[in-house]
Amino acid sequence: MPHTQVIEQLKASLQTAYRQAIDADTRLDELKKAGHVKFDTIFQESEGFTTKSNRFTPYVQELAIDMESFTQDPESLAAALESYIPKLGLLLQTMQAFKSNAK
């Protein structure tokens, strides 16, 4: 698959993540008001994220910044994808699990 197709697919996945993050953050706000949110970060540093937040949107923003950087430097694309794809997958899976459990 050419690089442009990979980038376009990743952009589409990131857009999906953004929309889901907004919904998840809204639900987290509701849970916090009810006194149920008692954690500082969603992901640990060992999971690859440098962001530390109890909301999903900042993690999506980190991924958007990462994507911007590796699209500017095609030479580093392969290496960048090795860390980027697992983080994107983890974010999407975590939001899906949250959505399923928060019903």
Task: Please tell me whether residue 50 adopts helix, strand or coil conformation.
Answer: coil
Tell me the mean pLDDT in the region 9-38: 92
Terminal Cα distance for the chain, rounded: 38
Nearest of 25, 34, 27, 31 to residue 54 by alpha carbon: 25
For residue 62, the tally of other CB atoms under 10 A from its CB is: 18
What tokens were used for 86?
Answer: 């697992």
Band (pLDDT 50/70/90 cuts) for residue 2 is low
Dist. CA 58–CA 86, nearest whole Å: 17
Based on the number of CB atoms within 10 Å of its own CB, is 91 exposed (0-12), middle (13-18) or buried (19 or more)?
buried
Question: What was the pLDDT predicted at 58?
Answer: 97
What's the CA gap between 62 and 22, in Å, rounded?
A: 15
Which tens digits make up the pLDDT trace of 65-97?
999 988 888 788 888 899 999 999 999 999 999
Span 33-72, pLDDT tens digits: 888 878 889 998 899 999 999 999 999 999 999 999 888 8
The pLDDT score that the predictor gives to residue 103 is 65
